Amino acid sequence: MCLECLTCSCFRPRYKRLVDNIFPQYPQEGLVKSNMEKLIFYSLSSPEKLDRIGDYLYLRASRDITRSSRIGFVVIAMEAMDQLLRACHAQALNLYVESFLKMIQRLLESSEADLQILATQSFVIFANIEEDTPSYHRRYEFFISKFSSMCHNNGDDIPTRNMLRMSGIRGLQGVIRKTVADDLVENIWEATHMAKIIPSLLFNMQDSSYHKRDGDSTDGIDQDPGALADE
C-alpha cells in the first residue's frame, strides 16, 4: 500500500488533488505553473467540474484568509481563479462564475487593502470576459456598494488611499461595462445604484489635484483617482 493511501489522498476526487498541487509549500514560491497547466487542461476537458473546482478554491482561500501567515496562499488561489476564467470556453463560464464572484466578494470583505485591490483587479478581468448566455439573475448590489465605499476611502496613508479609491473607480467602471455588455443596462441605471455611483465619481473629481493642475502638466496623473474618474 502506498503512503498516499495511508493519508487518504488517493481517495480524494481528482479535481481536489489537482487544485491542491498548484499550491507550493511556501507562498513566496508562487503558483506552481506546471500543475496549473494540468488543472486548466482538466477544466477544459471536463467543464462540468468547473463549479466544483471554483468552490474548492474558494473554500481553501476562505480558510486561509483568516490567518495572516497564509495570506500568500489566498493570492495564489485568486491568481488560479483568474487563469481559469481566462481559459474557460464561454459556454462553460456560468458553471464557474458564481464561485469566482463569491471569491471576489470574500476578498473585498477583508480589512486588508492589498486583498481589496487584488479582488478589484480580478473583477475587472471578469467584466471584460464575454459570456455566451448572460445571467439575468446575477445581482451586483454588493459590488456597487463596496466599490463606491472604496471610492470614498479616507485612510491616513495617502498612497494606499489613492490606490483604494482608484480600485473603487475601476470596479464601478467594470460593473457598468459588464451590465451593458450583458444587456442588463436597465438595472445599472436604477436610482439606488446611480445614487452611489455618481457621487463616488464626482467626489474623486472634486477632491483631486488633477483638476487643479497648472498648464498641461501630466505628472502623477496615472496615480490620481480624479483623472481616472474623469475618463
pLDDT digits (tens, 9 = 90+) for 149-160: 999 999 999 999
Q: Which residue has the cell 493519508?
A: 7
Average pLDDT of 89-97? 78
Banded model confidence at residue 29, pLDDT cuts 50, 70, 90: very high
Instruction: Give the pLDDT score at 151.
Output: 97
Average pLDDT, the chain: 87
- For the cut 80, the answer to whether the pLDDT of residue 179 exceeds it is yes
**Which pLDDT score is estimated for 102?**
96
Specify the amino acid at residue 199: P
Q: What per-residue confidence (pLDDT) applies to 2? A: 47
Q: Over the chain, what HEC string results?
A: CCHHHHCCHHHCCHHHHHHHCCCCCCHHHCCCHHHHHHHHHHHHHCHHHHHHHHHHHHHHHHHHCCCHHHHHHHHHHHHHHHHHHHHCCHHHCHHHHHHHHHHHHHHHCCCCHHHHHHHHHHHHHHHCCCCCCCCCCCCCHHHHHHHHHHHCCCCCCHHHHHHHHHHHHHHHHHHHHHHHHCCCHHHHCCHHHHHHHHHHHHHHHHCCHHHHCCCCCCCCHHHCHHHHHCC
Distance (Å, rounded) from C-alpha 19 to C-alpha 220? 41
pLDDT in tens, 125-146: 999 987 776 666 678 999 999 9
Mean pLDDT of the region 17-43: 97
Average pLDDT over every residue of 200-216: 70
Averaged pLDDT for residues 8-32: 91
Those residues whose C-beta lies under 8 Å from the C-beta of residue 75, and which sit 6 or more positions away, are 27, 115, 118
Give the model's pLDDT for residue 1.
41
Of 173 and 133, which is predicted with more confidence? 173
pLDDT of residue 231: 66
Q: Is the pLDDT of residue 66 over 60?
A: yes
pLDDT tops 80 at residue 30: yes
Residue in 80, 109, 110 with CA at minimum distance from that of residue 96: 80
Considering only residues 114 and 89, tell me which one the structure prediction assigns the higher pLDDT.
114
* pLDDT at 6 (0 to 100): 41
pLDDT digits (tens, 9 = 90+) for 160-172: 999 999 999 999 9
